[in-house]
Structure 1
């Protein structure tokens, strides 16, 4: 279903287009109309199904941008998820004055109080920190029209039930209540019976994940090296047909320019292209006239793409379902396919979430070095030359060979000169390690800092040497008393007379 069928809000539609989406996921198509109608809702779905946008889009529509008060409240189990959800709201509402704020433990509460005074319309937070603000009366629910429990089962597993119930009791009975959970244990059902009024129920079955025929891998790199890494992967793998997925149309355009400048036979499909143009490009790709096709998820959806050797996720997909759809383009009809996802440091948590979704580990591989690329070039060149020597007639070139012999130039050097022009090997002196070896590891943590003695330890060491700040003029050499000087001794004698 197209997003135009789910919302008529032009600002939201523009934000959705900016993100490169036009088609809604299953949960978005089913949940958005229910929330818009104002009904309470129980949504059961796995992570990675587009759930956040499913509740964000209709709740943003209901917000009065002129009213600088919390109107939507979302409770999340972790601060990472709270930040992620607030970011999604901010992106979807970026063409409006609406603002979203994440509040969570570990962040200075005074800073959060100051930000709350500015009047964000959307507040996303962990139950514990939300209770802190309720006790301090730094947040009020007088204008709240929607409260959302995201990943409710996780919040209960973490012991937040009492906080959740306290918050729900503090909210008006007229407030719309939405609960999303991957599982439905008894404790969740108890909450729904107690606090939700005649809720609609939506259950999204987990996507049928058939990725066993695809070799799934990833490389961890710094963001500024992503395009260089893409070129190295293509040089190393040399696929007959390759699909590269990006999250936005702009990125598709940027990538295609770089590929064509480097001599790759590449084309694109995205939402700004007419359907006839997309189909014509696809025909060329399926015929083998185009080696590389760069696409967004939506543009590629529903198109019949055949025999893809390699799928490269230049951008981590926005949902885990998209990931399955992407790599499923490879490994069809019983063939073993291959996929490589290019990840940056901040996407480590998304990788772990994806692995839980597909119930499989994705293998980390290293970015090919220039030395390895040269070896691959040489191997392919030799294989190609041997094949040509066996299959083709070169008698017409014999006079040239005879003249080269007569010139006295050593044939080995002649061959070397021809190889230099043909192979164009990489300069290994320019080698640079493009792998991010900090991926999945904490950066700048206290464990990485040089250990130095604390203040107490420094004072203890000073006392051992005879210095003690607690006792004035003790320890170490004593200051000379001014009365011991010859002048003052002489003055003292005069006074005694």
Structure 2
């Protein structure tokens, strides 16, 4: 259905056209007429289906621009989503003179928000906590509010806002009010809200088959926990996405992964709820502008991220809730673009992946980790494409003269010089994935070994008794003996060290403020070891482990013998294997 078939006003149609939209999405075509009619409505739709316009367009149509009282209240679960919704309504009201829209959320200047409210605002978009603050201060006047929208209602309830939501709704006028609710799921708490605060609500649903974006290729990799970062960087190097979103389940993991990727030279930033609003705004500005090309986030912090150029989503951790998978991958494949979604699983997580496939009615395909040779081939192809473009653009006469002069004054051929330039370009774009000193691809070797072990155990036993071995990280077919488990625990930090590498123990850890980039910085500066030569880093509360080239072990021990971090001795020593 086209927007001009929905009975919209000319200013709205002009704004929609400016935004590049012609046809309404399924949820828009179904919801807009219902909301415009004034009926209470329950809309079931996922992220990425265009639901902001589903309520944004009709509430703008209902607003009286000549009346400066607050007429519409929209509740969103996060600051990011409130800001995003406000931005979209501003674009939709581009040609509507006199309509004022104000986002109110925690972390922003309260005095500025109060001044904005006193100036007269027809539409308020806010988070429950901050709206409650304003209601307590009587800075939000409710007398003229006729429409309340609960956006992402399920997420607001998951975040513990139920009491705030009910308190806000209890303070709204009851006569001729309209309550519109959008939710990805219809759990019992949602139904309780609808029963209590809506009258004869009309249910509008998007068919389940429309919940996922067809332009997204979905893959999964069987990855050991300790190899996740190496696999992530390998995939980023191989696919070279313009912008990437990486999802972790915890704020601590977001911080840790951001630090590790930054230490490896990637333009990565973290985003989670413990960050100040100014820091979150800074991170998002850099991501939208392309100054940061990898954004690592938790599910809650990612609400409201609406960036069209995201080409890949990585589920570093499998989401705890099945429906979160749809929210995550919906961040890519936007505006008709193709996108990719990659998930890392191990052990029992494969069953969660099956649940996701059933829920989404989609197929997530198992993939082999690209080899170093694959990455090299892709980078070579990219360099050759760039060279072809430079040649086609011309202007190389001066460079050709330089090369001719070099050939005439040396024993080098033009082929030698071209090969040297290619090697230099490839070295500058060197692979940051795990590689041992002999140039062997440890990730691929481990994957092959896992497959071989899986074949020996047999698929029947594997499916029946699959469990995630906490110590070795293997998908084990038989539970090891108590003694073997105890020995594995002792050797947790000593097994599976890459050939040519040695594991060192540090007597400081996370409780002392030590971070992965601190380890890289100290070793690089004190022992003069290139950062790319430093292997796996593992931080515990009171100790840490780092893998370094064996041939440099004596230099490292000597150089860092008296090194201190924040006044405490680093305590570097070889991690010997217990017998």
The alignment's TM-score, normalised by the length of structure 2, stands at 0.43
The alignment's TM-score, normalised by the length of structure 1, stands at 0.50
* Larger RCO: 1 or 2 (CA < 8 Å, sep 6+): 1
